[in-house]
Amino acid sequence: MFQSTLNFYSLLIPLILMSMGFVTLLFCKLKSLSNYLAFYAIALICVGLSLFLHSIFIPSVLLQLLPFVFGLYFLSCVLHAHAIYLRLGIQSNWKMLFILLSLGIVAHAYFAIWYDSQTLRMLITGVITACIYLNNPIDFFKIKPQLKIDRYLKALTITLTTIALGRAILLNHLVVPTEMISTSAMLWASTQLLLIVIDIIFLGIFISCSIQDILDKLKLERNRDPLTGLLNRRAFKEYVQQMHWVDQPTPKALMIIDLDHFKQVNDHYGHFIGDLALQHSSKILSQSLSEHDRISRIGGEEFVVILNNASPEHALNIADAIRHQLYQSPLYYAEHQVKLSISIGVSFFEEYQYFDHAFQEADDYLYQAKKMGRNLVQSKFSPV
C-alpha cells in the first residue's frame, strides 16, 4: 500500500509546504493579518497534503485515490487564486471555480478508475489549473495595479498559468513519452522543486503585500481624525506643503467651517451627543465634495476645505448647499433632535504661495459670518 522506498527526503518538500502553511496561518491569526495571506496559507497546506499523499502510496493504490489527491490540489489552486484576487481587488467568480473544481475531480476519477490515461489527466490538470487562476479573466487583465508589488503579483500569476499549460503540453506531446512520466523520479523531483520555488516566491510577495497593508493602515491612522475619519491637522498641513511641488495655477477655493453654538450642544446634551453631531456634520460635508477636493478637521468643531478647480460661483454654490443641507438635516438620537448649523468663510487663490493669505482671509470671513448671526456663508463676493 505504501512506497517501499519511502524516506524522509521523499517527504521533505510536502512537509516544508505544509509547515509553511501552518506557520503562516498561525501568524495571520495571532497578528490579524490580511485575509489573502490566510487563504494562501490554507492553499499551501492543501497542496502540501496532496503531494504528501502522492508520495507515500504505491501507484496501484494512488490510482484509486487520484480524485481525492487532485481534489486537494485543485482546492489549493482555488484558494490561491482567491488570495490573489483579494489582494488585487478583483471579484472571484465562485460559480466558475466550483464548476472547475468539480470538473477536475470528476475527470481525474474517470481517467484514473474507468479509463486510465495519464496523458489526458496531465492535460486536464494543466487546463483546469490555468482556468482557475483566470476565473475572472476580463477583470484580471483589465486591472492596472498602482503598486509595484501588485504588478509583480499579477505578472507571476500569468507566468504560473503559462507554466501550468505549457508543462502539460510539452510533457505529453513534445518531450517526454507517457511511460517515462510514470517512472522518472528525476521528473517528479524537478516538478516538486519547481512548485516549492514558485510557492516560496508567492509567499514572499504576499508577506510583502501584508507588510504594505500594515504600513498603509498606520499611515491612515496617523493622518486621520479618529472621531470623524477626516484628515487631521497634520495631514492637512502635509497636503498643503505638497501643493508647493505639484501645484498648478488653477482657481481654488478655501472654506473654513465652524459649527454654530457647539459648546451649547455639549453642555445641553452631553459630549456623547456632541461627538455624534461632529460625525453627522462630517458625513454631510464629505458627501458634498468631489474626490479631487480635500477636507480636514483642524479643531474641535472647525473644518477646512480646499476645492480644486473651482470658480468663485461654483465654490459659493457648494458652500451654501452644504450650509442648507446641514440645517435641514437635524441629528436624531433616541428621543433627541439636535438642530445644527454652520458658518462658512470662503476665500480664493490660485498658487501655493498665496495659501496663508487665503487662510487668513477665509478666517476673517468666518468671523464676519458669526458676527452677522451665524448660519451664513461669507466671502468677498457676499453682499455687504
The pLDDT of residue 4: 54
Residues in the chain: 384
DSSP assignments along 105-156, one per residue: HHHHHIIIIIS--HHHHHHHHHHHHHHHHTSSHHHHHH---SSHHHHHHHHH
The pLDDT of residue 181: 45
> Strand 342-349 relative to strand 377-378: parallel, antiparallel, unpaired?
parallel
The pLDDT of residue 343: 96
The pLDDT of residue 314: 92
- Nearest to 163, CA basis, from 135, 190, 136: 190
Alpha helices in the chain (DSSP H): 12-31, 35-56, 59-88, 94-109, 118-133, 137-142, 148-169, 178-183, 185-223, 233-246, 262-269, 271-287, 312-327, 355-371
- Nearest to 367, CA basis, from 384, 343, 350, 351: 343
> What are the two backbone dihedrals, phi and then psi, of residue 8, each rounded to the nearest 5 degrees?
-60, -40
Helix 59-88 / helix 94-109 crossing angle, nearest 10 deg: 170
* Alpha carbon separation from 303 to 225, 286, 343, 382 (Å, rounded): 11, 11, 11, 21
The pLDDT of residue 63: 77
Q: d(Cα 253, Cα 307) in Å, to the nearest integer? A: 5
Which stretch of DSSP H or E encloses residue 294?
strand 294-297
The pLDDT of residue 189: 60
The answer for residues whose C-beta is within 8 angstroms of residue 38's C-beta and 6 or more apart is: 24, 25, 28, 29
The pLDDT of residue 188: 55
- Nearest to 333, CA basis, from 279, 264, 258: 279
The pLDDT of residue 191: 66
> Using an 8 Å Cβ cutoff, are 306 and 358 in contact?
no
Question: What's the chain's Rg over C-alpha atoms?
Answer: 31
The pLDDT of residue 214: 87
- Nearest to 189, CA basis, from 73, 51, 76, 61: 51
The answer for residues whose C-beta is within 8 angstroms of residue 3's C-beta and 6 or more apart is: 10, 55, 56, 57, 58
| Per-residue DSSP letter, 224 | B
- Nearest to 179, CA basis, from 3, 59, 55: 59
- Nearest to 152, CA basis, from 59, 104, 220, 84: 84
All 3 cell numbers of residue 61? 493504490
The pLDDT of residue 91: 95
> Using an 8 Å Cβ cutoff, are 100 and 126 in contact?
no
Which segments in the chain show pLDDT lower than 70?
Answer: 1-10, 171-192, 244-248, 384
Q: How much is the pTM?
A: 0.69
